[in-house]
Amino acid sequence: MRKTRPLRYRLADQSVALGLILAFVCLWEAVCRLGLVSALVLPAPSAVGREFYYVCREIAVGGPLRTDLVVTFYETVGGFLLAVVGAFACGTLIAEVPVLRRVMMPYLVAVNAAPKIAFAPLLVVWFGFGAGSKIVMAALIAFFPVVVNTVAGLAGADPAKLRLMRSLAASAWMTFMKVKLPDSLPVIFAGLKTAIVFAVVGAVVGEFVGADAGLGHVIKQTDYQLDVALTFAIIVLLSLVGILLFYAVEWLERWALFWAPGH
């Protein structure tokens, strides 16, 4: 069983990390207040904080920013779920059928190597300016981490367990459900935690190209207005959304893998 570090050491690590962040913010504030950088290029943290308070207030009272947040959240989660379903099915086929692994993997790598943002205008043409094109964009970016981890996890099942199942004349389906899938879940969840963050990026990229709602659309509008502080505040909000979704997937992992070491 993995040993847990004493509480005082964990608190010390967190204190050091917090101290470094505070030092960086203070240096940033000083540089801006001394006029070394224009506010149109880099706003002071205090200005970003005021705009972030405004953003949070707008969301709390049901202003337009709440609608934008809901739209981006919906697109992110929808793209993530679409990527998970497609990638798990594709990864399972690749892992279980060796010929598909040899045939499909080069094409998957080629698609992943292509810059995803180049597909965004095409997706708008194919799926329109609504949420559909943003969901597909989020799914496209989140797809590859899940499919790779699914293949790696299923291929890395415990050989001793597989030999045991063969000795018991277990069917391929029984072997998959009782050995391969449980053994692969920790690796698959690692891909899911990466994918949920990528899905946020995909949704925002889709909104940059063509949208009339969403936080990516808000960032585009604030750039036109040269409201850099509000742009930073929206970026902070998007980061918080990504963090919350990441820890939601991690909570799901802990709930689903309570039996696994380290969970």
Q: Are 13 and 84 within one domain?
A: no
The structure tokens listed for 209 are: 């190209």
CATH number of 192's domain: 1.10.3720.10
Q: Provide the CA 145 distance to its chain's centre, in angstroms.
A: 10
pLDDT at 94 over 80: yes
Q: At a CB cut-off of 8 Å and minimum separation 6, what does 247 contact?
A: none
Residue 263 placed within a domain: no
Residue 9's pLDDT band (cuts 50, 70, 90): low
Residue 262 placed within a domain: no
Residue 7's pLDDT band (cuts 50, 70, 90): low
Q: Are 31 and 72 within one domain?
A: no
Instruction: Give the alpha-carbon dihedral of 71, 124, 244, 3, to 10 degrees.
Output: 160
Residue 122 placed within a domain: yes
Please give the pLDDT value at position 80.
93
Please give the pLDDT value at position 129.
76
Q: Are 171 and 242 within one domain?
A: yes
Q: Are 140 and 17 within one domain?
A: no
**Rounded to whole angstroms, how far apart are CA atoms 151 and 88?**
9
Q: Are 32 and 49 within one domain?
A: no
Please give the pLDDT value at position 1.
46
Residue 154 placed within a domain: yes
Q: Are 125 and 166 within one domain?
A: yes
Q: Which residue range(s) make up the domain with 19?
A: 1-37
Instruction: Give the alpha-carbon dihedral of 60, 61, 64, 70, to 10 degrees.
Output: 40
Q: Are 33 and 47 within one domain?
A: no
**Rounded to whole angstroms, how far apart are CA atoms 232 and 201?**
15
Q: Are 133 and 10 within one domain?
A: no
Give the mean pLDDT of 177-197.
86
**Other C-beta atoms lying within 10 Å of the C-beta of residue 193:** 18
The structure tokens listed for 39 are: 């506010």
Which comes out higher in pLDDT, residue 103 or 1?
A: 103
Residue 244 placed within a domain: yes
Residue 25 placed within a domain: yes
Q: Are 8 and 69 within one domain?
A: no
Q: Are 152 and 31 within one domain?
A: no
Q: Are 103 and 228 within one domain?
A: yes
Q: Are 33 and 53 within one domain?
A: no
Q: Give percent above pLDDT 70 in the chain.
A: 93
Residue 261 placed within a domain: no
Please give the pLDDT value at position 5.
59
Q: At a CB cut-off of 8 Å and minimum separation 6, what does 128 contact?
A: none
If one counts the domains in the chain, the total is: 2
Residue 85's pLDDT band (cuts 50, 70, 90): very high
Residue 205 placed within a domain: yes
The structure tokens listed for 158 are: 């415990």
